[in-house]
Amino acid sequence: MSEAESIYDEIGGKDAVESVVDDFYDRVLDDPVLEPYFEDTDMNELFAHQVQFVSAVAGGPVEYDGADMQTAHEGMGITAEAFDRVADYLAAAMAENGVPEEDIDAVIDEVAALKDDVVGQ
């Protein structure tokens, strides 16, 4: 990756991020531990927010305008195990979609920094 090129650009922009997020939610919703967290969720809306979030974290020309992580996850009782599973599925979805390991690590580092804002809210 050149210094001027973001992860977002390197992996293929919006189409690539949408593919990653689609793969990610296939994995998450197939997990019996995670699926209950999404029972009453508008998945189309959540998909759009996740595309925006991943795009922003990857340095894309997108500013995440969703709720802050504490507010967005308030009352959900997300466990550390569930958070880690979600992060693992995001990493796996990125790998499956051809994202280089160093870029996966950079995105997952950004996600991991949010753990305290998500777990136990």
What is the pLDDT confidence band of residue 4, given thresholds at 50, 70 and 90?
Answer: low
Residues in contact with 45: Cβ distance below 8 Å, sequence separation at least 6, in sequence order: none
**Is 1 among the domain residues?**
no
17-64 pLDDT, tens digit per residue, is 999 999 999 999 999 999 999 999 999 999 999 999 999 999 999 888
Q: Is 90 within the bounds of a domain?
A: yes
The pTM (predicted TM-score) of the whole model is 0.91
Q: Is residue 48 part of a domain?
A: yes
**CATH code at 70?**
1.10.490.10
Only one residue has tokens 């994202």, namely 99
List the domain range (segments joined by +) for residue 49: 8-118
What span, in angstroms and rounded, lies between the C-alpha atoms of 20 and 108? 13
Average pLDDT for the chain: 93
Establish if 3 belongs to a structural domain.
no
Of 76, 120, 93, 97, nearest to 26 by C-alpha is: 93
pLDDT tops 90 at residue 3: no
Give the chain's domain count. Answer: 1
